[in-house]
Structure 1
Amino acid sequence: MSSMLNSHAALLKNRELLQGRLVLVGLQDSAILGQLPEGGHVVTEHYGVYRSLPAAGPWSPLFGYFDDSNPYGNADTVVVFMPKAKAELGLRLRLAGALLAPSGRLVLVGEKREGVASAVKQLQSLADSTAKVDSARHCQVWLAERMVSQAPLTVADWLTWHSVEVAGVSVEVAGLPGIFSDGRLDEGTRLLLQSLADEPVAGPVLDFACGAGVIGSWLHQWATPRGLAFTVDGIDVQAQAVACAWQSYQRAGAQGQIEPGDGLAGAGRQYATLVTNPPFHRGVRTDTSMTERFLAEAARHLQSGGELRLVANSFLPYERLIRQFVGPCRILAQDNRFTVYSAKRL
């Protein structure tokens, strides 16, 4: 129990609220399922959580908010966990309204530092009755009844577009609530793209933690007028990122496969180049474990002499790991926040 997420522990403390046909939205740790009422659906945007749930069993896993298999209009209780991004909460609450039967109830759980108190305003706009039922483990638990019915979610209703330009190359990038750096180009990726213009890489390329597909789309637009052609595959743990990257690739005409994956296990071949601007948060917590696992596995997915090109906040301890797992490391670019590293597999 001591290692359990606070929000999950708060839900277990109030498990009597969970009645009838149950759906959990935004679960982060499937280990608690054995302590909940038997069975239901789990909607998660995180591919690692999705893969941790057996395909056959009392809990049915659903990957992403736009899965056609979502049990619309059928749930008696929907639990919504607070997401990291405030914009994503609206998506989760709208999904809950579409999942609930007319007499169903919604349970909102989240830590105070995740913004659960301010999120209640959104909840109140979508329900006739809301009440705080508990404060525990730095969390709040809210119960909403008589939710306003919502239509099933579609990607087209939530998709947005914005433009980014680096080194004279412009691309259109898709966005969905909760995706990293939605609506703008983050400065780390900008520095990485500039390094790709200054010191080009070889293909095929894998973009690990590809987000909305910025790197693959930009590389295609940069390479085409130079008579270069190579694929840029993308892999990401988040359902919205996979959907956005596919949309961005389609608009740019970029070549490559976009796949969900938690780490490099889903990468089926070796690449001349691995590029990445990896995440270092899980929810509101700093968590570099995903990148550490990636670096430990990277060499197996690089061709002999292949290159790792990585950008990260300069304070993160990646240079030592790159040298340990990939090969000699050099710094290609650096500003007051970010560093671009390059390493060749020996």
Structure 2
Amino acid sequence: MSEQPEHYFSEQPAVDDRERTVAFELDGVNYELTTSTGVFSGGRLDPGTSVLLNKVVPPEEAGTFLDLGCGYGPISAVLARREDAEVWAVDVNRRALDLARRNTAKAPGTVRVATPGEVPREVSFDEIWSNPPIKVGKEALHELLETWLPRLKPGGVAWLVVSKHLGADSLARWLAGAGWAVDKHASAKGYRVLKVEHGA
């Protein structure tokens, strides 16, 4: 039986927990992560996430970073390759959070795995990385971004990867209309990577 996409939006997925391993290589580093049913792209590294990781250079300085909608943690695992990185891996899906915690337990950097409500209000971010949950709907997506983008530090940047046919360009227009500086940083495999910064 095929999984329904709603499952990975759920706090507690209803589908049985069937674990598997996803492996990928980036910048000469091999990653082998545990994933499961009931989480986003539980059978492989999602192509959008792959585009994001391959088209954006990981942070080159120490900082505090947000992996928004972290799933089982592939972006967090990459961001935490730096010993001086503090990564907040945030998701609503408890199964995904458990997996992200396991997958980053031995990372050189510090990874704080949390639900949105568990992130202290005073925490702000040098960079936000996200393959946002487009299928939650436009209103919920806009609310999500309106909640987290203002927590970028001055000079901070957000990297968002969005499928072109699921509205990458319309999202870019909405962000620009909301006062953000938006650059179409890269495109590959039907996805667009948006670079989002504080407007002038």
Smaller-chain TM-score bracket: 0.7 to 0.9
Query: What code does the residue aligned with 2:171 have?
Result: Y
Structure 1 residue 200, shift from structure 2 partner:
5.1
Cα 1:267/1:326, change in 2 over 3 Å: farther
| 1:237 and 2:95 aligned | no
Unpaired runs of at least 5, structure 1: 1-27, 29-44, 48-63, 66-82, 92-157
Q: What is the aligned partner in structure 2 of residue 290 from structure 1?
A: 140
Aligned partner of 1:181 among 41, 47, 52: 41
TM-score, normalised by the number of residues in structure 2: 0.81
Query: What code does the residue aligned with 1:235 have?
Result: V
| 1:337 and 2:190 aligned | yes
Structure 1 residue 342, shift from structure 2 partner:
0.4
Residues 202 and 273 in structure 1, CA contact (< 8 A), matched pair in contact too: no
CA distance in 2, matches of 1:258, 1:169: 22
Q: What is the aligned partner in structure 1 of residue 69 from structure 2?
A: 209
**Deviation digits for residues 299-327 of structure 1 (CA, Å, limit 9, x no counterpart):** 42111111111001113121012223352
Percent identical among aligned pairs is: 22
RMSD over aligned CA atoms reads 2.7
**Deviation digits for residues 281-312 of structure 1 (CA, Å, limit 9, x no counterpart):** 25xxxx23332112222342111111111001
CA distance in 2, matches of 1:196, 1:206: 15
CA distance in 2, matches of 1:251, 1:172: 12
CA distance in 1, matches of 2:179, 2:93: 26
Residues 79 and 85 in structure 2, CA contact (< 8 A), matched pair in contact too: no
CA distance in 2, matches of 1:275, 1:249: 16
Query: What code does the residue aligned with 1:168 have?
Result: G
Aligned partner of 2:129 among 263, 275, 289: 275
| 1:257 and 2:112 aligned | yes
**Deviation digits for residues 132-169 of structure 1 (CA, Å, limit 9, x no counterpart):** xxxxxxxxxxxxxxxxxxxxxxxxxx543321212322
**SS of alignment partner, residue 110 of structure 2:** coil
CA distance in 2, matches of 1:208, 1:216: 9
Residues 22 and 33 in structure 2, CA contact (< 8 A), matched pair in contact too: yes
Larger RCO (CA under 8 A, 6+ residues apart):
2
Count of aligned pairs between the two proteins: 189
Cα 1:266/1:252, change in 2 over 3 Å: closer
CA distance in 2, matches of 1:345, 1:288: 21
TM-score, normalised by the number of residues in structure 1: 0.49
Aligned partner of 1:247 among 78, 91, 102: 102
Residues 164 and 184 in structure 1, CA contact (< 8 A), matched pair in contact too: no
CA distance in 1, matches of 2:114, 2:108: 17
> After superposition, where does 1:90-169 map in structure 2 within 5 Å?
90-91=16-17, 158-169=18-29
**SS of alignment partner, residue 309 of structure 1:** strand
**SS of alignment partner, residue 142 of structure 2:** helix
CA distance in 1, matches of 2:116, 2:41: 20
Query: What code does the residue aligned with 1:337 have?
Result: G
Residues 176 and 182 in structure 1, CA contact (< 8 A), matched pair in contact too: yes
From the CA coordinates, give the structure whose radius of gyration is larger. 1
Structure 1 residue 267, shift from structure 2 partner:
5.1
**Deviation digits for residues 107-130 of structure 1 (CA, Å, limit 9, x no counterpart):** xxxxxxxxxxxxxxxxxxxxxxxx
Cα 1:247/1:280, change in 2 over 3 Å: same
Query: What code does the residue aligned with 2:142 have?
Result: E
